Structure 1
Amino acid sequence: MTTGIDARLDRIGTDGSYVIIPMDHGITMGAVQGLKDIESTIDGVTSGGADAVLTQKGIAPRVHDNKNDKGYIVHLNGSTTIGPDEQDKRLTGTVEEAVRVGADAVSLHINVGSDHEPEQISQLSEITEQAQRFGMPVLAMAYARGPGVDSTDPEALGHAVRFAEELGADIVKTGYSGDAESFQHVVESTRLPVIIAGGSKGSDRETVEMVRGTMDAGGAGISMGRSVFQHEDPEAIARAVAGVVHDDLSVDDALAEAGLALEA
């Protein structure tokens, strides 16, 4: 790593752990709940303890005045739910463009095992080479997805995170295997910090339990979008998640400190 990469990783995390809220879903799903007034959502989640937010480059002007001096990540590929194939992620920007709009890191989505894996290998290789020139960290969103691939299988997830390291990423996001014991294999498959995706919104307890399991397995945090920005109180759920990641709280303590119901 370079000094620039180390410095910028500090801007998107806290002492080597990460609470990142991706809100690039507008390109994929449109202006869904939580993204119409994205300014308020960004203010809420960063006030609640998120270390960084993530969007496509065009949303940058709506980010900086509302992120409470937290980190900013620009996502560099995308697709839509109404297009021919949502898994066919195409490049939407460059590292240089991310620098110009004030990013502290860049990210790229990879579906390991999909029909589009070969093209996405080329994309990640290109982005990590660009990023080295700028001292910019790369977050690889490396999922196990494709024909016959179990997206929660720890062996497949372990392959996905190792894939990210092999191609030069600095931090890797992947799916959760379902429990701390199996997710430990995923974490041990790479020397990169491993953070988990959230997926569609579950109950508050389910969300926080997943975060607790990730940290118990040796993970480095979370990158949760819809579970947070579509919550009725994004600031509160961000506070609960950050309490587990940064303060090592139990599930019950994190929910209580965030003012969320301790539902069974």
Structure 2
Amino acid sequence: MDVGITARLERISTGGRYLVVPMDHGITLGPVKGLVDLETTVDAITRGGADAVLTQKGVARRVHPKKNGKGYIVHLNGSTVIGPDSNDKRLTGSVEEALRVGADAVSFHMNVGSEFEPDQMTQLGELTEKAHRFGLPVLAMNYARGQDIDSQDAENLAHAVRLAEELGADVVKTSYTGEAETFERVCEATRLPVVIAGGSRGTDRQTIEMVRGAMDGGAAGVSMGRSIFQHDDPEAITRAVSAVIHRDADTETALHEAGLGLEA
């Protein structure tokens, strides 16, 4: 692997484990809780132990002063929930723009199985080639999404993560199957580090149990957005997630140490 890619991967991870907090939802969902005062949220989650934060290029100036020396990823496509089809992710930036705003890596969302898969596949392949010319790692967010597609099926997700490796990505994000045993199949499908998405918010216990299950199934960490940045205490929930990822803590220990253990 190129020395630049290796060096930059180390900026967005710790010891090969990843706790990334995507906060690019301002395009998708609008100015929701946790993103209005982006600066305060970034400060809290990076103090809590996040390895990197991820946003669209336009808010980079709001991220850097508050990220406490942690890594920064720029996301390069997007869509909105009020548009004609949220699976139709369109390009929102370039490798050059990401570098200009201080990115350590770039990310790209692909919906495997959707009608938009062909164009997104072409774009991801082109992105990895261009990013690697600059020694910039690529996080591929590859989901199984489309008509009549089971988005948590292990075989579908295994295909999605393998596709990311075949197209040259360096890290791949996908959905969690719901249990460690079936998620092992997903992680075995690729030699890339696999991180899970957080999805919509659950209870603190549900969040930490999901992270624990994914790690037991072979995951290298999480790329978890709403469950962290919309939490009433983003720093505390980040500490709990970090304890599982970086210290191999069990659910009870992670919740208790973060001061979240009293939640049912």
- Regarding TM over 0.5, the answer is yes
2:257: which partner in 1?
257
For structure 2, the residue ranges without an aligned partner over 5 or more in a row are none
- The match for 2:245 is 245
Structure 1: which 5+ runs fail to align? none
Determine if the alignment matches structure 1 residue 105 to structure 2 residue 117.
no
Letter in 2 for 1:164: A
1:176, distance to aligned residue in structure 2 (A): 0.2
Which residue identity lines up with residue 87 of structure 1 in the other structure? N
For 2:219 and 2:86, how far apart are their aligned partners in 1?
28
Asked if 2 retains the 8 angstrom alpha-carbon contact of 1:20 and 1:53, the reply is yes
2:131 counterpart residue number: 131
Instruction: Please give the alpha-carbon distance, in whole angstroms, between the structure 2 residues aligned to 1:249 and 1:105.
Output: 28
Q: Is the 8 A contact 1:42 1:53 kept in 2?
A: yes
Query: What is the aligned partner in structure 2 of residue 75 from structure 1?
Result: 75
Q: CA deviation at 1:123?
A: 1.1
* 1:84 counterpart = 2:102: no
Counterpart position of 1:187: 187
- Residue by residue, what CA displacement relative to the aligned partner does 1:86-136 show, whole Å, maximum 9, x if unpaired? 110000111111000000000000000001000100110111011111000
What SS does the corresponding residue of 2:68 show, helix, strand or coil? coil
The answer for the alignment partner of 1:231 in structure 2 is 231
The structural deviation recorded for 1:262 is 3.7
Map 1:186-225 to 2 at 5 A: 186-225=186-225
Kept after mapping to 1: 8 A contact 2:11/2:51: yes
Q: 8 Å contact 2:5–2:136 — kept in the other structure?
A: yes
| Distance in 2 (alpha carbons) for counterparts of 1:185 and 1:178 | 12
Secondary structure of the residue aligned to 1:163 is helix
Secondary structure of 1:173's partner?
strand
CA contact 1:28–1:81 (8 Å) conserved in 2? yes
The answer to whether structure 1 residue 122 and structure 2 residue 112 are counterparts is no
Q: Distance in 1 between matches of 2:112 and 2:182?
A: 19
% of aligned pairs identical? 69
1:34 maps to 2:34: yes
Residue correspondence of structure 1 range 158-169 to structure 2 within 5 A? 158-169=158-169
* Residue type of the alignment partner of 1:21: V
Q: Which amino acid aligns with 2:37?
A: D
* Residue equivalent to 1:62: 62
CA distance in structure 1 between the aligned counterparts of 2:262 and 2:10, rounded to whole angstroms: 33
Aligned residue identity for 1:241: V
SS of residue in 1 equivalent to 2:196: strand
Select between 67-76 and 212-221 the one with higher mean Cα deviation: 212-221
1:170 positional shift: 0.1
Match of 1:11 in 2: 11
1:54 is paired with a residue of what secondary structure? strand
Distance 1:37 1:162 in 2: 37
Is the 2:252–2:261 Cα contact (8 Å) retained in structure 1?
A: no
Equivalent position SS for 2:236: helix
Contact 1:205 / 1:262 at 8 angstroms: preserved in 2? Answer: no
TM superposition score normalised by structure 1: 0.99
CA–CA separation in structure 2 for the residues paired with 1:126 and 1:204:
39
Instruction: Point out 4+ residue stretches in structure 1 off by more than 4 angstroms.
Output: none
Q: How far does residue 263 in structure 1 lie from its aligned partner after superposition? A: 3.4
**CA separation in 1, counterparts of 2:88 and 2:126?**
17
Task: Provide the rounded CA distance (Å) in 1 between the counterparts of 2:84 and 2:45.
Answer: 33
Asked whether the 8 Å contact 1:77–1:91 carries over to 2, the reply is yes
C-alpha contact (below 8 Å) 1:252/1:262 kept by paired residues: no
Map of 1:151 onto structure 2: 151
The Cα of 1:261 is off from its aligned counterpart by: 2.9
Output the amino acid matched with 2:178: G
Aligned Cα RMSD in Å?
0.6
CA contact (8 A) 2:199 2:224 kept: yes
